[in-house]
A and B are shown apart, each in its own frame.
Chain A
Amino acid sequence: MYFLRRLLYAVPLLLLISLLAFVLVHLAPGGPFDRERRPASPEIERNIQAKYHLDEPVWKQYGRYLNGIVHGDLGPSLKYRNHSVTDIIAQGLPVSMTLGGIAFCVALAVGVPLGFFTAAQRGRWPDFLGSFLAVLAVCIPSFVLAPALILVVALKLRWLPVALWESPWHMILPSLALGSFFVGQVARILREAMVTAAQSEFVTAARAKGLGETTLLLKHVLRIALLPVISYSGPMLADLLTGSFIVESIFQIPGIGVFLVNSSLNLDYPVIVGLSLLYAVLLISLNLLVDLAYTFLDPRVKYE
């Protein structure tokens, strides 16, 4: 019941987001055709405006846009002529999702053990070292890490390709650059949660019954402490799947992140609104999935 209601809430939310994005981009002075390909004459300009319905009032354009969405059409791109927004998404999203998926795996595969290890060694020097590494990972932005990796690994040592998206070898550097921030976040969240969980009474009880330290941490503490990690991984996955503008542009990967930035700079209205909606849909549905997963993992959680 609760989830049905959440689903119903999502509809007006998406409407609001689309309206906000739509109005915001239309408020900007100038238009998508002002920059490079300025039409030759006022007549041609009028024709183009009429073709894309830009001469209509904004509310009418919005109505037309909504009607298109219902029919599965997100409109044409104004910059990349002959491409619809659906085309752009179909082209870029698989690439972005592959990159994001690998980075997600990296984040969990490195972040969880790191968090577990630092929590288990709490207060000793491995903890300080590990925690420092985690903070460092959070503090190195991708636009510093990515060029550093390119300079050292690709150009100096020549171990891996510099850019592009062709073989599995090409995927290593971008996913590391994208994933490292989340490695740090996951490790920090897990450590914090484990330290809190280790102080609860059921742990003392289990210890009193003579359970070994390792079993205790793995079976009882980790299980509870993974919950905040799971709730963080929803928005994290949404972030990663929709592509990172920075990493994609540095490694020249043809994902949708590049399209979003370019379309924002060129006021390509339908692409901006379409991609914002895509991101919002992903974010909302992943958050919903996380909440669903909670009910299975933690029987104490009840929604009504």
Chain B
Amino acid sequence: MASAWYLAALLALVLAWPVCLKLSSITFAQTHAPDHISDTQFAAPSAQHWFGTDVHGRDIFSRTLYGAQISLLIGVVGATVSLVIGVLWGSMAGYVGGRIDAVLMRLVDVLYSLPSIIFVIVLMATLGEAAKQTPLMQHSPTLAGALRVALLFVGLGSISWLTMARIVRGQVLTLRSRAFVEACRTLGAGTGRILFRHIIPNIFGVAITYAALTLPGIILYESFLSYLGLGVQPPMASWGTLIAEGVSQINPVRIYWWLIAFPGGILVTTLLALNFLGDGLRDAWDVKGR
């Protein structure tokens, strides 16, 4: 329960912070704007800058919250993409069965044996390059940034639906021989109607639970890619890029621990909360995990 509260508080803060900046006095809004560059480099956490400042004198508290927007958005959309593809794929395979089932699931097996990390790295590198070279993107940086995020949705969604498809297929296999489905078929309902009206609503609890369990994984993947420079591009920030900036400032003379501790701490606690929430959902729905 604590994790749900934590997530709700984080979400509220992330959404409210830009509004707070708008409403507050001009000087406060200026010094705390996530991309406001100032002379106070590497200020340690203080009453003015709660999380300290970075190499360009930007407020890390603000940057962490703005980064959270991107990280959480990608996590939620990525999990939804995997939910939609996984449910459609799995229920098709499970309900129609026969040769279609064999083909669909064999494809899943093949994709499983692909090295997914390498696949995403290559995909993001090549697609990112392609996006950079189109003339439209060179004109409008905002659009380029948005496209980059959309690429992340596609890339991360496309590798995380496999387990979902397997679980859904297993569920559908047990459902399709149940009496109410047979009754429906006898009454002359078509495949589409049975699937969407009767089967999918029944597996929804399981599917949602599993989507909640993939959510932290996708957030982790996103920060991992952004850390490598393949995900979100500056001046946009996500937790991954913030931590990468902190790592690049590691030096033997001065220790700027706040550059890593705060974005990293928020990332870790969010992942923890999501994990606990997913486990709780799983226990509540009694889903047998793989």
Task: Tell me, yes or no, whether A108 is within 8 Å of chain B by CB.
Answer: no
Contacts of B121 in A (CB 8 A): 245, 260-261, 264
Instruction: Give the CA-CA distance A264 to B118 in the complex, in Å.
Output: 9
How close is A277's CB to chain B, nearest CB, in angstroms?
10
List A111-165 residues whose CB lies under 8 Å from chain B. 135-136, 138-141, 143-144, 146-148, 150-151, 155-156, 162
Contacts of A162 in B (CB 8 A): 252
Task: Knowing A17-B114, A29-B133, A150-B250, say if A144 contacts B122 (CB, 8 Å).
Answer: no
Task: Tell me, yes or no, whether B130 is within 8 Å of chain A by CB.
Answer: yes
Instruction: Give the CA-CA distance A138 to B279 in the complex, in Å.
Output: 14
How close is A245's CB to chain B, nearest CB, in angstroms?
6
User: From A196, which residue of chain B is reached at the shortest CB distance?
Assistant: B288
Asked if B113 and A143 make an inter-chain contact with CB atoms under 8 angstroms apart, the answer reads no
Asked if A141 and B267 make an inter-chain contact with CB atoms under 8 angstroms apart, the answer reads yes
User: From A249, which residue of chain B is reached at the shortest CB distance?
Assistant: B228
Contacts of A136 in B (CB 8 A): 268, 272
Choose one: B118, B129, B223, B230; the contact of A267 (CB below 8 Å): B129
Contacts of A260 in B (CB 8 A): 118, 121
1/0 per residue, CB under 8 A from A, across B100-143: the answer is 00000000001001110111011101110110010000000000
Q: Which of B115, B127, B229, B261 has the most CB of A within 10 A?
A: B115
Task: Tell me, yes or no, whether A216 is within 8 Å of chain B by CB.
Answer: no
Contacts of B227 in A (CB 8 A): 143, 246
Contacts of A143 in B (CB 8 A): 223-224, 227, 240, 243-244, 247
Identify whether the interface residues of A are mostly helix, strand, loop, or mixed. helix
Contacts of B230 in A (CB 8 A): 264-265
Task: Tell me, yes or no, whether B17 is within 8 Å of chain A by CB.
Answer: no
1/0 per residue, CB under 8 A from A, across B225-262: the answer is 00111100000000010011011001010010100110
Asked if A24 and B123 make an inter-chain contact with CB atoms under 8 angstroms apart, the answer reads yes
Instruction: Give the CA-CA distance A231 to B127 in the complex, in Å.
Output: 34
Task: Knowing A139-B216, A272-B122, say if A151 contacts B250 (CB, 8 Å).
Answer: yes
Instruction: Give the CA-CA distance A246 to B264 in the complex, in Å.
Output: 15
Task: Tell me, yes or no, whether A69 is within 8 Å of chain B by CB.
Answer: no
Instruction: Give the CA-CA distance A113 to B125 in the complex, in Å.
Output: 40
List A271-292 residues whose CB lies under 8 Å from chain B. 272, 275-276, 279-280, 283-284, 287
How close is A280's CB to chain B, nearest CB, in angstroms?
6
Contacts of B255 in A (CB 8 A): 151, 155-156
Instruction: Give the CA-CA distance A27 to B129 in the complex, in Å.
Output: 10
Task: Tell me, yes or no, whether A8 is within 8 Å of chain B by CB.
Answer: no
Choose one: B117, B250, B260, B268; the contact of A139 (CB below 8 Å): B268
Count of residues in B whose CB is under 8 Å from the partner chain: 43
Task: Tell me, yes or no, whether B271 is within 8 Å of chain A by CB.
Answer: yes
How close is A72's CB to chain B, nearest CB, in angstroms?
22
Task: Tell me, yes or no, whether A88 is within 8 Å of chain B by CB.
Answer: no
Asked if A151 and B260 make an inter-chain contact with CB atoms under 8 angstroms apart, the answer reads yes
How close is B50's CB to chain A, nearest CB, in angstroms?
19
Instruction: Give the CA-CA distance A162 to B252 in the complex, in Å.
Output: 9
Task: Tell me, yes or no, whether A195 is within 8 Å of chain B by CB.
Answer: no
Task: Tell me, yes or no, whether A30 is within 8 Å of chain B by CB.
Answer: yes
How close is B240's CB to chain A, nearest CB, in angstroms?
7
Instruction: Give the CA-CA distance A17 to B122 in the complex, in Å.
Output: 13
1/0 per residue, CB under 8 A from B, across A1-42: the answer is 000000000000100110011001101111000000000000
Choose one: A24, A155, A280; the contact of B252 (CB below 8 Å): A155
Task: Tell me, yes or no, whether A250 is within 8 Å of chain B by CB.
Answer: yes
Instruction: Give the CA-CA distance A275 to B240 in the complex, in Å.
Output: 25
Instruction: Give the CA-CA distance A218 to B264 in the complex, in Å.
Output: 38
Asked if A267 and B252 make an inter-chain contact with CB atoms under 8 angstroms apart, the answer reads no
Asked if B223 and A139 make an inter-chain contact with CB atoms under 8 angstroms apart, the answer reads no
Instruction: Give the CA-CA distance A192 to B287 in the complex, in Å.
Output: 13
Task: Tell me, yes or no, whether B14 is within 8 Å of chain A by CB.
Answer: no
Contacts of A24 in B (CB 8 A): 122-123, 126
7 other A-B residue contacts (CB within 8 Å) besides A16-B110, A27-B130, A192-B289: A25-B122, A139-B275, A151-B257, A246-B224, A260-B118, A264-B230, A265-B125
Sample (30) of A-B pairs whose CB atoms are under 8 Å apart? A13-B113, A21-B122, A24-B122, A28-B127, A28-B129, A29-B133, A135-B276, A138-B275, A139-B275, A141-B271, A143-B243, A143-B244, A144-B268, A147-B260, A150-B250, A155-B252, A156-B255, A162-B252, A239-B117, A260-B121, A264-B122, A264-B125, A267-B126, A272-B122, A276-B122, A279-B115, A280-B115, A283-B113, A283-B115, A287-B113
